[in-house]
Amino acid sequence: MQKIINRPIDSAKIKHFLSIFPVTAILGPRQSGKTFLAKQLPYKHYFDLENPRDMTMLNNPQLALEDLEGLIVIDEIQRKPDLFNLIRYLVDTNPKQKYLILGSASGALMKQSSESLAGRIGYYYLGGFSISDIDSSNIMKIWLRGGYPRAYLAKSDRGSFLWLTNYISAFLERDIPQLGISVSANILRRFWIMLSHYHGQIINYSETGRSFGISDVTVKKYIDILEHALMLRVLQPWHVNMRKRLVKRPKIYIRDSGIFHSLNSIESCQQMLTHNKLGASWEGFALECVIRAIGKRYEDFYFWNTHTGAAIDLFWQNNGRNWGIEFKYGDSPKLTRAMKTSIEDLSLAHLWVVYPGKQLYKLHKNITVIPLSQINKVWSYKY
Protein backbone atom coordinates (compact mmCIF):
# COMPACT_ATOMS: atom_id res chain seq x y z
CA MET A 1 0.00 0.00 0.00
CA GLN A 2 1.42 3.38 -1.02
CA LYS A 3 2.24 5.80 1.77
CA ILE A 4 -0.09 8.80 2.16
CA ILE A 5 1.53 12.19 2.72
CA ASN A 6 -0.74 14.95 3.98
CA ARG A 7 -0.21 18.48 2.66
CA PRO A 8 -1.28 20.81 5.47
CA ILE A 9 -0.07 24.07 3.90
CA ASP A 10 -1.78 23.47 0.56
CA SER A 11 -4.95 22.34 2.37
CA ALA A 12 -4.98 25.47 4.55
CA LYS A 13 -4.52 27.74 1.54
CA ILE A 14 -7.33 26.06 -0.39
CA LYS A 15 -9.68 26.35 2.60
CA HIS A 16 -8.81 30.04 2.84
CA PHE A 17 -9.68 30.52 -0.84
CA LEU A 18 -13.00 28.70 -0.28
CA SER A 19 -13.83 31.06 2.59
CA ILE A 20 -13.42 34.08 0.28
CA PHE A 21 -14.58 33.05 -3.20
CA PRO A 22 -17.81 31.32 -4.29
CA VAL A 23 -15.67 29.47 -6.86
CA THR A 24 -12.13 28.24 -6.25
CA ALA A 25 -10.02 26.67 -8.99
CA ILE A 26 -7.12 24.34 -8.24
CA LEU A 27 -4.97 24.36 -11.36
CA GLY A 28 -1.97 22.16 -11.89
CA PRO A 29 -0.49 19.42 -14.02
CA ARG A 30 -2.05 15.96 -14.07
CA GLN A 31 -0.93 13.74 -11.14
CA SER A 32 0.12 16.69 -8.99
CA GLY A 33 -2.37 15.76 -6.24
CA LYS A 34 -5.40 17.96 -7.01
CA THR A 35 -7.95 15.16 -6.59
CA PHE A 36 -6.37 13.89 -3.36
CA LEU A 37 -6.53 17.35 -1.77
CA ALA A 38 -10.10 17.97 -2.97
CA LYS A 39 -11.28 14.70 -1.41
CA GLN A 40 -9.90 15.76 1.98
CA LEU A 41 -12.40 18.64 2.04
CA PRO A 42 -15.99 18.40 3.35
CA TYR A 43 -17.61 18.39 -0.08
CA LYS A 44 -21.25 17.43 -0.62
CA HIS A 45 -21.13 16.47 -4.30
CA TYR A 46 -18.28 15.29 -6.54
CA PHE A 47 -18.27 15.10 -10.34
CA ASP A 48 -15.28 13.62 -12.16
CA LEU A 49 -15.50 14.41 -15.87
CA GLU A 50 -13.22 11.49 -16.69
CA ASN A 51 -15.98 9.26 -15.31
CA PRO A 52 -18.43 8.59 -18.19
CA ARG A 53 -21.38 8.48 -15.79
CA ASP A 54 -20.58 11.91 -14.32
CA MET A 55 -20.00 13.32 -17.79
CA THR A 56 -23.41 12.03 -18.87
CA MET A 57 -25.06 13.62 -15.81
CA LEU A 58 -23.56 16.98 -16.74
CA ASN A 59 -24.82 16.77 -20.30
CA ASN A 60 -27.84 18.50 -18.73
CA PRO A 61 -25.85 20.61 -16.27
CA GLN A 62 -28.54 22.95 -14.98
CA LEU A 63 -30.80 20.04 -14.05
CA ALA A 64 -27.88 18.29 -12.34
CA LEU A 65 -26.56 21.29 -10.40
CA GLU A 66 -29.18 23.91 -9.66
CA ASP A 67 -30.83 22.20 -6.66
CA LEU A 68 -27.59 21.14 -4.98
CA GLU A 69 -26.24 22.74 -1.80
CA GLY A 70 -22.87 22.88 -0.11
CA LEU A 71 -19.45 22.41 -1.68
CA ILE A 72 -19.62 20.99 -5.20
CA VAL A 73 -16.40 19.62 -6.72
CA ILE A 74 -15.99 19.33 -10.50
CA ASP A 75 -12.79 17.50 -11.48
CA GLU A 76 -11.16 17.81 -14.94
CA ILE A 77 -13.35 20.79 -15.79
CA GLN A 78 -11.33 21.52 -18.93
CA ARG A 79 -13.41 18.77 -20.55
CA LYS A 80 -16.55 20.96 -20.27
CA PRO A 81 -15.52 24.63 -20.30
CA ASP A 82 -19.10 25.58 -21.23
CA LEU A 83 -19.97 25.04 -17.54
CA PHE A 84 -18.41 28.35 -16.52
CA ASN A 85 -21.36 30.55 -17.58
CA LEU A 86 -23.81 28.29 -15.77
CA ILE A 87 -21.69 28.25 -12.60
CA ARG A 88 -21.67 32.07 -12.64
CA TYR A 89 -25.47 32.09 -12.77
CA LEU A 90 -25.79 29.45 -10.04
CA VAL A 91 -23.48 31.08 -7.49
CA ASP A 92 -25.15 34.44 -8.12
CA THR A 93 -28.63 33.03 -7.47
CA ASN A 94 -27.94 30.34 -4.87
CA PRO A 95 -25.78 31.47 -1.92
CA LYS A 96 -25.90 27.93 -0.49
CA GLN A 97 -23.61 26.68 -3.27
CA LYS A 98 -19.82 26.85 -3.47
CA TYR A 99 -17.72 25.30 -6.22
CA LEU A 100 -14.26 23.80 -6.24
CA ILE A 101 -13.15 23.17 -9.80
CA LEU A 102 -10.04 21.19 -10.72
CA GLY A 103 -8.27 21.29 -14.04
CA SER A 104 -5.06 21.23 -15.98
CA ALA A 105 -3.83 24.76 -16.52
CA SER A 106 -3.95 26.23 -19.99
CA GLY A 107 -4.24 29.69 -21.47
CA ALA A 108 -7.66 28.92 -22.95
CA LEU A 109 -9.05 27.52 -19.69
CA MET A 110 -7.79 30.51 -17.70
CA LYS A 111 -9.25 32.96 -20.22
CA GLN A 112 -12.66 31.27 -20.34
CA SER A 113 -12.99 30.96 -16.56
CA SER A 114 -11.74 34.48 -15.80
CA GLU A 115 -14.10 36.03 -18.36
CA SER A 116 -17.15 34.06 -17.18
CA LEU A 117 -16.41 34.17 -13.43
CA ALA A 118 -14.72 37.55 -13.02
CA GLY A 119 -14.84 38.64 -9.38
CA ARG A 120 -16.18 35.26 -8.27
CA ILE A 121 -13.19 32.94 -8.70
CA GLY A 122 -9.85 32.50 -6.98
CA TYR A 123 -7.03 30.48 -8.56
CA TYR A 124 -4.74 28.22 -6.57
CA TYR A 125 -1.79 26.75 -8.47
CA LEU A 126 -0.74 23.36 -7.18
CA GLY A 127 2.59 21.71 -7.76
CA GLY A 128 3.68 18.38 -6.35
CA PHE A 129 4.96 17.80 -2.83
CA SER A 130 7.01 20.60 -1.33
CA ILE A 131 9.74 20.28 1.28
CA SER A 132 7.23 21.36 3.93
CA ASP A 133 5.36 18.09 3.28
CA ILE A 134 8.29 15.78 3.90
CA ASP A 135 10.90 15.04 6.54
CA SER A 136 14.00 17.24 6.18
CA SER A 137 16.12 14.09 5.83
CA ASN A 138 14.44 13.44 2.46
CA ILE A 139 15.41 16.70 0.72
CA MET A 140 17.93 14.89 -1.49
CA LYS A 141 15.22 12.42 -2.50
CA ILE A 142 12.67 15.07 -3.47
CA TRP A 143 15.37 17.05 -5.29
CA LEU A 144 16.23 14.02 -7.44
CA ARG A 145 12.71 12.66 -7.98
CA GLY A 146 10.69 15.89 -7.93
CA GLY A 147 7.38 16.49 -6.22
CA TYR A 148 4.89 14.44 -8.23
CA PRO A 149 3.46 12.04 -5.63
CA ARG A 150 3.93 8.85 -7.68
CA ALA A 151 7.49 9.79 -8.61
CA TYR A 152 8.46 10.75 -5.08
CA LEU A 153 6.79 7.71 -3.47
CA ALA A 154 8.17 5.16 -5.96
CA LYS A 155 9.93 2.18 -4.38
CA SER A 156 13.25 3.01 -6.04
CA ASP A 157 15.02 5.76 -7.96
CA ARG A 158 14.81 3.55 -11.05
CA GLY A 159 11.05 3.17 -10.59
CA SER A 160 10.70 6.93 -10.16
CA PHE A 161 12.69 7.58 -13.35
CA LEU A 162 10.52 5.15 -15.33
CA TRP A 163 7.35 6.78 -14.04
CA LEU A 164 8.61 10.25 -14.98
CA THR A 165 9.64 9.08 -18.45
CA ASN A 166 6.16 7.69 -19.08
CA TYR A 167 4.53 10.76 -17.54
CA ILE A 168 6.34 13.02 -19.99
CA SER A 169 5.15 10.85 -22.90
CA ALA A 170 1.56 10.86 -21.64
CA PHE A 171 1.61 14.62 -21.13
CA LEU A 172 2.82 15.25 -24.67
CA GLU A 173 0.62 12.66 -26.37
CA ARG A 174 -2.58 13.08 -24.33
CA ASP A 175 -2.72 16.29 -22.32
CA ILE A 176 -1.34 18.68 -24.93
CA PRO A 177 -3.95 17.69 -27.59
CA GLN A 178 -6.72 17.86 -24.94
CA LEU A 179 -5.69 21.45 -24.25
CA GLY A 180 -6.48 22.22 -27.88
CA ILE A 181 -2.84 22.53 -28.94
CA SER A 182 -1.86 20.98 -32.26
CA VAL A 183 1.88 20.50 -31.94
CA SER A 184 3.54 17.18 -32.71
CA ALA A 185 4.47 15.31 -29.52
CA ASN A 186 7.90 14.44 -30.95
CA ILE A 187 8.64 18.06 -31.88
CA LEU A 188 7.59 19.37 -28.48
CA ARG A 189 9.57 16.62 -26.72
CA ARG A 190 12.78 17.55 -28.58
CA PHE A 191 12.13 21.24 -27.88
CA TRP A 192 11.53 20.53 -24.17
CA ILE A 193 14.77 18.55 -23.95
CA MET A 194 16.62 21.41 -25.62
CA LEU A 195 15.10 23.91 -23.19
CA SER A 196 16.28 21.75 -20.28
CA HIS A 197 19.84 22.63 -21.34
CA TYR A 198 18.94 26.32 -20.82
CA HIS A 199 17.53 25.59 -17.35
CA GLY A 200 18.46 28.49 -15.05
CA GLN A 201 19.79 30.57 -17.94
CA ILE A 202 18.67 33.71 -19.73
CA ILE A 203 16.90 32.63 -22.89
CA ASN A 204 17.75 34.07 -26.30
CA TYR A 205 14.76 33.35 -28.54
CA SER A 206 16.62 33.90 -31.80
CA GLU A 207 19.60 31.75 -30.79
CA THR A 208 17.27 28.99 -29.55
CA GLY A 209 15.30 29.15 -32.79
CA ARG A 210 18.43 28.79 -34.89
CA SER A 211 19.54 25.79 -32.81
CA PHE A 212 16.17 24.11 -33.37
CA GLY A 213 15.58 25.32 -36.92
CA ILE A 214 12.48 27.40 -36.13
CA SER A 215 11.63 31.11 -35.86
CA ASP A 216 11.86 33.05 -32.62
CA VAL A 217 8.06 33.52 -32.81
CA THR A 218 7.63 29.73 -32.80
CA VAL A 219 10.07 29.45 -29.89
CA LYS A 220 7.91 31.85 -27.87
CA LYS A 221 4.79 29.88 -28.84
CA TYR A 222 6.25 26.57 -27.63
CA ILE A 223 7.52 28.18 -24.42
CA ASP A 224 4.05 29.65 -23.79
CA ILE A 225 2.52 26.17 -24.19
CA LEU A 226 4.82 24.67 -21.56
CA GLU A 227 4.50 27.68 -19.26
CA HIS A 228 0.69 27.66 -19.30
CA ALA A 229 0.74 23.92 -18.62
CA LEU A 230 2.83 24.72 -15.49
CA MET A 231 5.78 22.70 -16.78
CA LEU A 232 8.03 25.69 -17.32
CA ARG A 233 8.70 28.79 -15.24
CA VAL A 234 9.57 31.94 -17.17
CA LEU A 235 11.10 34.45 -14.76
CA GLN A 236 11.06 38.01 -16.04
CA PRO A 237 13.85 40.52 -15.30
CA TRP A 238 13.25 43.34 -12.84
CA HIS A 239 13.80 46.78 -14.33
CA VAL A 240 14.60 49.80 -12.23
CA ASN A 241 15.31 53.32 -13.36
CA MET A 242 19.09 53.43 -13.14
CA ARG A 243 22.00 54.01 -15.46
CA LYS A 244 23.32 50.47 -15.43
CA ARG A 245 22.72 48.29 -18.48
CA LEU A 246 20.28 45.56 -17.46
CA VAL A 247 19.59 42.18 -18.97
CA LYS A 248 16.07 42.33 -20.44
CA ARG A 249 15.44 38.74 -21.52
CA PRO A 250 13.76 36.19 -19.21
CA LYS A 251 15.26 33.17 -17.47
CA ILE A 252 13.64 29.77 -17.81
CA TYR A 253 13.37 26.80 -15.46
CA ILE A 254 11.84 23.34 -15.70
CA ARG A 255 9.48 23.64 -12.73
CA ASP A 256 9.70 20.09 -11.38
CA SER A 257 13.20 18.86 -10.60
CA GLY A 258 12.23 15.24 -11.37
CA ILE A 259 11.05 16.25 -14.85
CA PHE A 260 14.31 18.17 -15.35
CA HIS A 261 16.39 15.16 -14.35
CA SER A 262 14.35 12.81 -16.53
CA LEU A 263 14.81 15.08 -19.57
CA ASN A 264 18.57 14.94 -18.90
CA SER A 265 18.64 11.15 -18.29
CA ILE A 266 19.68 11.58 -14.64
CA GLU A 267 18.48 8.50 -12.72
CA SER A 268 20.32 8.57 -9.39
CA CYS A 269 21.76 10.94 -6.78
CA GLN A 270 25.26 9.91 -7.83
CA GLN A 271 24.57 10.92 -11.43
CA MET A 272 22.96 14.18 -10.27
CA LEU A 273 25.88 15.16 -8.03
CA THR A 274 28.45 14.58 -10.79
CA HIS A 275 26.44 16.09 -13.66
CA ASN A 276 27.57 19.31 -15.31
CA LYS A 277 24.10 20.77 -14.64
CA LEU A 278 24.36 20.26 -10.86
CA GLY A 279 24.42 23.99 -10.05
CA ALA A 280 21.51 24.74 -12.38
CA SER A 281 19.56 21.79 -10.97
CA TRP A 282 20.04 23.06 -7.42
CA GLU A 283 19.06 26.62 -8.38
CA GLY A 284 15.83 25.53 -10.06
CA PHE A 285 14.86 23.14 -7.27
CA ALA A 286 15.61 25.62 -4.46
CA LEU A 287 13.91 28.46 -6.34
CA GLU A 288 10.64 26.50 -6.61
CA CYS A 289 10.83 25.56 -2.92
CA VAL A 290 11.30 29.19 -1.87
CA ILE A 291 8.57 30.57 -4.15
CA ARG A 292 6.09 28.08 -2.70
CA ALA A 293 7.18 28.94 0.85
CA ILE A 294 6.75 32.67 0.27
CA GLY A 295 3.33 32.03 -1.24
CA LYS A 296 2.99 35.07 -3.49
CA ARG A 297 1.54 35.04 -7.00
CA TYR A 298 3.52 33.59 -9.89
CA GLU A 299 3.93 36.96 -11.62
CA ASP A 300 5.25 38.72 -8.51
CA PHE A 301 8.76 37.22 -8.77
CA TYR A 302 11.68 38.42 -10.88
CA PHE A 303 15.42 38.11 -11.27
CA TRP A 304 17.89 40.98 -11.59
CA ASN A 305 21.02 40.99 -13.69
CA THR A 306 23.35 43.64 -15.07
CA HIS A 307 25.80 43.34 -17.94
CA THR A 308 28.62 44.02 -15.48
CA GLY A 309 27.88 40.82 -13.56
CA ALA A 310 25.84 42.00 -10.55
CA ALA A 311 22.83 39.74 -10.14
CA ILE A 312 20.34 38.12 -7.80
CA ASP A 313 18.39 35.00 -8.65
CA LEU A 314 15.06 35.98 -7.11
CA PHE A 315 13.61 39.42 -6.38
CA TRP A 316 10.21 40.42 -5.01
CA GLN A 317 8.49 43.20 -3.12
CA ASN A 318 6.45 42.88 0.06
CA ASN A 319 5.14 45.40 2.59
CA GLY A 320 6.65 48.22 0.58
CA ARG A 321 10.19 46.80 0.74
CA ASN A 322 12.51 44.95 -1.63
CA TRP A 323 13.86 41.46 -0.94
CA GLY A 324 16.29 39.18 -2.72
CA ILE A 325 17.65 35.63 -2.77
CA GLU A 326 20.75 34.00 -4.22
CA PHE A 327 20.99 30.22 -4.64
CA LYS A 328 24.41 28.67 -4.11
CA TYR A 329 25.41 25.02 -4.24
CA GLY A 330 28.42 24.87 -1.96
CA ASP A 331 29.59 24.12 1.57
CA SER A 332 29.91 27.69 2.88
CA PRO A 333 28.94 30.62 0.61
CA LYS A 334 31.08 33.73 1.06
CA LEU A 335 30.30 37.43 0.81
CA THR A 336 30.88 38.78 -2.70
CA ARG A 337 31.08 42.21 -4.28
CA ALA A 338 28.00 41.34 -6.39
CA MET A 339 25.96 40.76 -3.23
CA LYS A 340 26.91 44.17 -1.87
CA THR A 341 26.10 45.78 -5.22
CA SER A 342 22.69 44.13 -5.27
CA ILE A 343 21.92 45.36 -1.75
CA GLU A 344 22.85 48.93 -2.70
CA ASP A 345 21.37 49.16 -6.20
CA LEU A 346 18.06 47.53 -5.33
CA SER A 347 17.76 48.98 -1.80
CA LEU A 348 17.16 45.48 -0.47
CA ALA A 349 15.81 45.18 3.04
CA HIS A 350 17.54 41.79 3.18
CA LEU A 351 19.32 39.30 0.94
CA TRP A 352 19.28 35.58 1.70
CA VAL A 353 21.70 33.03 0.29
CA VAL A 354 20.02 29.61 0.14
CA TYR A 355 22.38 26.61 0.17
CA PRO A 356 22.23 22.85 0.91
CA GLY A 357 24.17 23.01 4.18
CA LYS A 358 22.91 22.85 7.77
CA GLN A 359 24.12 26.06 9.45
CA LEU A 360 22.45 29.48 9.34
CA TYR A 361 24.91 32.34 9.57
CA LYS A 362 25.34 36.04 8.77
CA LEU A 363 27.60 37.40 6.03
CA HIS A 364 26.59 41.02 6.56
CA LYS A 365 23.99 42.88 8.60
CA ASN A 366 21.58 42.56 5.64
CA ILE A 367 22.79 39.23 4.22
CA THR A 368 22.05 35.80 5.73
CA VAL A 369 23.08 32.35 4.55
CA ILE A 370 20.22 29.92 5.19
CA PRO A 371 19.87 26.17 4.65
CA LEU A 372 17.09 25.17 2.28
CA SER A 373 15.70 22.95 5.05
CA GLN A 374 14.99 26.06 7.18
CA ILE A 375 13.22 28.27 4.64
CA ASN A 376 9.77 27.58 6.09
CA LYS A 377 10.94 29.10 9.38
CA VAL A 378 11.52 32.39 7.54
CA TRP A 379 8.57 32.29 5.13
CA SER A 380 5.85 30.37 6.94
CA TYR A 381 2.27 30.29 5.73
CA LYS A 382 -0.08 32.23 8.01
CA TYR A 383 -3.56 33.74 7.76
pLDDT above 70 as % of the chain: 92
Q: Which CATH number fits domain 8-125: 2.60.120.260, 3.40.50.300, 3.90.180.10, 3.40.640.10?
A: 3.40.50.300
At what angle are helices 157-170 and 185-196 packed, to 10 degrees? Answer: 130
In degrees to the nearest 10, what's the CA dihedral of 374, 230, 3, 77?
140
Q: What's the pLDDT band for 2 if we cut at 50, 70, 90?
A: low
pLDDT 10s digits, 66-118: 999 999 999 999 888 889 999 999 999 999 999 999 987 666 667 778 788 98
Distances (CA, A) of 149 to 29, 37, 77, 324: 12, 12, 21, 30
Average pLDDT over residues 229-235: 93
Q: Which H or E element spans position 63? A: helix 61-65
Instruction: Indicate if the pLDDT at residue 381 is higher than 60.
Output: no
Residue 383 pLDDT: 40
pLDDT 10s digits, 323-356: 999 999 999 999 998 899 899 989 999 999 999 9
Q: What angle do CA 117, 51, 24 make, to 5 degrees?
A: 25
DSSP string, 247-289: --SPEEEESSHHHHHHHTT--SHHHHHTSTTHHHHHHHHHHHH
Average pLDDT over residues 178-189: 81
Are 253 and 231 within 8 A, CB to CB? no
The closest of 57, 79, 78 to 68, measured between CA atoms, is 57
Phi-psi region of 87 (alpha: psi -120 to 50; beta: other; left: phi over 0): alpha
Cα 142 from Cα 233, distance rounded (Å): 19
Instruction: Indicate if the pLDDT at residue 225 is higher than 80.
Output: yes
Cα 162 from Cα 130, distance rounded (Å): 21
Residue 298 pLDDT: 58
CB burial readout 302-329, b (16+ within 10 A) else e: bbbbbeeebbbbbbbeeeeebbbbbbbb
Cα 177 from Cα 95, distance rounded (Å): 36
- Residues of the chain within CATH 3.40.50.300 domain(s) are 8-125
Chain mean pLDDT for the chain? 90
Q: What's the pLDDT band for 244 if we cut at 50, 70, 90?
A: low
pLDDT 10s digits, 262-294: 999 999 999 999 999 999 999 999 999 999 998
Are 292 and 124 within 8 A, CB to CB? no
Are 113 and 25 within 8 A, CB to CB? yes
Residue 1 pLDDT: 46
Instruction: Indicate if the pLDDT at residue 178 is higher than 80.
Output: no
pLDDT 10s digits, 128-138: 999 999 988 89
